[in-house]
């Protein structure tokens, strides 16, 4: 028989201690959504089923005990750390879910500058880890825009990627080993070694699981030397995105590894570069970092390649350094954004996809053409590429629209329609519907097409590790 809400709270109090169980109504409302439902949230409108409680885990044993309880009584569990999710990963779609919050598991356990790796609990904010690392002359190399708030468990669980990814990779390239707890309470530890060839790489069952397979409790990531004195920017304005993609491609294919490689179209660039770019300018920019000789060679090589494109006009690099220094989002920007949404009733959102070099510009153009024709109340639509690889790149679509419907209809009327256009155009040309931010619940309508015949593997993983479907129902796999 299903447990009543009161009984769930009592059980939780026995498992983690009453002081670690939150049942305040307002907090439960806020815990039923993430930034996918931001418009409803700022208007104080909550339409999702409320969780029974938020359990604040303080140890791996707490996590294991809560999962065991949930598994026994078939209660949905939504894992949570920094609460910066954008795709509905934190949304509680089942009444009386348990939100299992790891933000109080916030100890940096070890910074090992000899073996160049750091071990942390899941609730350590990346900024806190990075700040400590820098005092030792090392860096994680991980710098998503949400770095001031996002925490290590969520960063691993969403397969996050940072602004220096072209050099350091995404989090999947950084995680050495980890500890994770599965639905039945089994605690597993994947050891920290530089590489091994002992069958499948099981780190990837954990990385990117979005709380749908297991709970990440501890992570070990690589470290790199921190040499900010050598950071060097170069940039150009140009009139054509197609030319920009080709210049980016040539830089990547030639083997250069700048830490930042970005291409902005005019509508997106207007939010960032109005100090030096005209209204119809695209902006192509790079940053190189690391040992001085590597930086020099990287910048020389990029300049030689981009110099082959007469459309590209150099810009003063000081503008780029100043712009980049203010790119991250902390609590102040989040608070400003909420105020602005209330005042203007305009939403600014993003959808990020990836594709090979042959397809990316066509996806970009086709999606924008359709968005402008099909989406009501659209004020701005554009995008940038911010993560490049030898075989392709991403496109980070940005769009702003005036909300002309009640708050509870905003997601379906605008966001879902925009995602539909972008995902359809991406899939048509063989790209991936999620480059970062995760699937959450927002992009599950496209998961079967995204995976194709390999959906078999995904589905079997879910059935094997979460046979009672208690782990973040409706996330990655549709409910």
Ligand X SMILES: Cc1cc2nc3c(=O)[nH]c(=O)nc-3n(C[C@H](O)[C@H](O)[C@H](O)COP(=O)(O)OP(=O)(O)OC[C@H]3O[C@@H](n4cnc5c(N)ncnc54)[C@H](O)[C@@H]3O)c2cc1C
Is residue 262 within the footprint of ligand X (CB under 6 A)? no
The residue from 35, 62, 262, 413 that contacts ligand X (CB under 6 A) is 35
Which tokens hold the place of 368?
Answer: 């924008």
Both structure tokens of 312:
């590209």
Residue nearest to ligand X as judged by C-beta position: 154
CB of 444 to ligand X, least distance (A): 12
Q: Which stretch binds ligand X (CB under 6 A): 75-83, 127-135, 229-237, 251-259?
A: 75-83
Contact segment (CB under 6 A) with ligand X among 74-82, 275-283, 376-384, 397-405 equals 74-82
| Region 328-357 residues binding ligand X, contact defined as CB under 6 A | 329
Contacts of 296 (CB under 8 A, 6+ apart): none
Does 472 participate in binding ligand X (rule CB under 6 A)? yes
Task: Give the residue among 63, 86, 47 at the shortest CA–CA distance from 337.
Answer: 86
Q: Which is nearer to ligand X, 85 or 363 (CB)?
A: 85
Q: Is 122 in the site for ligand X (CB under 6 A)?
A: yes
> What is the C-alpha separation between 479 and 465, in angstroms, rounded?
16
For residues 154 to 183, the per-residue mask of contacts with ligand X, x marking binding by CB under 6 A and - elsewhere, is xx-xx-xx----------------------
Encoded one letter per residue, x for contact with ligand X by CB under 6 A and - for no contact, window 191-220 reads -------------------xx---xx----
Return d(Cα 412, Cα 244) in angstroms, integer: 34
**Nearest distance from C-beta of residue 119 to ligand X, angstroms:** 15
SS3 of residue 90 by DSSP = coil
78 sits near ligand X (criterion: CB under 6 A): yes
Residue 164: both structure tokens together: 């220096």
**Nearest to 349, CA basis, from 301, 402, 385:** 402
Token pair, residue 422, equals 């972008």
Contacts (Cβ under 8 Å, ≥6 apart) of 93? 48, 49, 76, 441, 473, 474, 479
- Report how far residue 283's alpha carbon sits from residue 270's, in angstroms, rounded to the nearest whole number: 10
Size of the site for ligand X (CB under 6 A): 37
Strands 98-101 and 53-56, by their bridges, are parallel
Give burial (CB, 10 Å; 0-12/13-18/19+) of 479. Answer: exposed
Q: Pick the binder of ligand X from 39, 66, 69, 102 (CB under 6 A).
A: 102
Q: Are strands 378-385 and 224-225 parallel, antiparallel or unpaired?
A: unpaired
Nearer to ligand X, 7 or 22 (CB): 22
Residue 140 or 243: which CB sits closer to ligand X? 140
Other beta carbons within 10 Å of 292? 11
User: Which tokens in the block code for residue 128?
Assistant: 């806190």
Binding mask 123-152 for ligand X (x = CB under 6 A): ---------------------xxx---xx-
Q: Does 474 bind ligand X (CB under 6 A)?
A: no
Q: Give the residue, chosen from 20, 48, 81, 97, that forms a contact with ligand X under the rule CB under 6 A.
A: 81
Residues in touch with ligand X (CB under 6 A): 34-35, 78-86, 89-90, 102, 122, 144-146, 150-151, 153-155, 157-158, 160-161, 210-211, 215-216, 329, 436-438, 472, 475
């Amino acid at each position: 028989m299903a447990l009543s809400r009161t009984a769930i709270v009592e059980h939780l109090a026995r498992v983690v201690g009453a002081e670690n169980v939150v049942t305040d109504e307002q907090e439960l409302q806020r815990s039923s959504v993430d930034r996918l439902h931001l418009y409803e949230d700022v208007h104080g409108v909550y339409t999702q089923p409320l969780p029974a409680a938020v359990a604040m885990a303080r140890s791996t044993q707490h996590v294991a005990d809560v999962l065991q309880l949930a598994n026994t009584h078939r209660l949905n569990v939504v894992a949570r750390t920094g609460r910066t999710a954008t795709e509905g990963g934190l949304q509680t779609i089942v009444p009386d879910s348990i939100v299992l919050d790891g933000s109080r598991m916030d100890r940096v356990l070890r910074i090992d500058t000899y073996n160049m790796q750091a071990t942390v609990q899941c609730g350590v904010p990346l900024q806190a880890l990075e700040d400590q690392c820098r005092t030792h002359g090392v860096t994680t190399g991980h710098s998503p825009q949400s770095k001031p708030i996002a925490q290590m468990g969520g960063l691993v669980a969403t397969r996050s990627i940072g602004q220096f990814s072209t050099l350091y990779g995404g989090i999947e390239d950084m995680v050495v080993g980890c500890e994770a707890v599965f639905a039945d309470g089994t605690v597993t530890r994947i050891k920290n070694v530089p590489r091994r060839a002992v069958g499948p790489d099981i780190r990837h069952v954990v990385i990117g699981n979005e709380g749908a397979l297991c709970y990440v409790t501890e992570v070990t990531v690589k470290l790199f030397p921190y040499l900010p004195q050598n950071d060097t920017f170069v940039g150009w304005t140009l009139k054509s995105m197609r030319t920009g993609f080709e210049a980016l491609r040539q830089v990547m294919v030639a083997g250069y590894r700048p830490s930042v490689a970005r291409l902005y179209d005019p509508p997106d660039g207007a939010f960032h570069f109005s100090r030096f770019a005209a209204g119809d300018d695209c902006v192509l920019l790079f940053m190189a970092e690391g040992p001085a000789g590597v930086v020099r060679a990287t910048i020389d090589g990029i300049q030689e390649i981009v110099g082959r494109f007469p459309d590209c006009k150099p810009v003063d690099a000081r503008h780029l350094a100043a712009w980049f220094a203010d790119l991250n989002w902390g609590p102040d920007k989040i608070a400003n954004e909420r105020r602005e949404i209330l005042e203007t009733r305009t939403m600014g959102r993003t959808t990020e996809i990836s594709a090979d070099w042959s397809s990316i510009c066509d996806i970009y153009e086709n999606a924008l053409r359709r968005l402008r024709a099909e989406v009501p109340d659209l004020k701005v639509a554009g995008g940038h590429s911010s993560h490049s690889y030898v075989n392709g790149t991403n496109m980070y679509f940005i769009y702003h629209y005036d909300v002309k419907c009640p708050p509870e209809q905003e997601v379906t009327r605008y966001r879902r329609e925009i995602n539909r256009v972008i995902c359809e155009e991406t899939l048509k040309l063989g790209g991936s519907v999620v480059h970062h931010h995760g699937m959450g619940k927002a992009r599950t309508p496209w998961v079967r097409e995204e995976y194709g015949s390999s959906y078999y593997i995904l589905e079997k993983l879910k059935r094997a590790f979460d046979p009672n479907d208690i782990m973040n129902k409706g996330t990655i796999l549709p409910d």
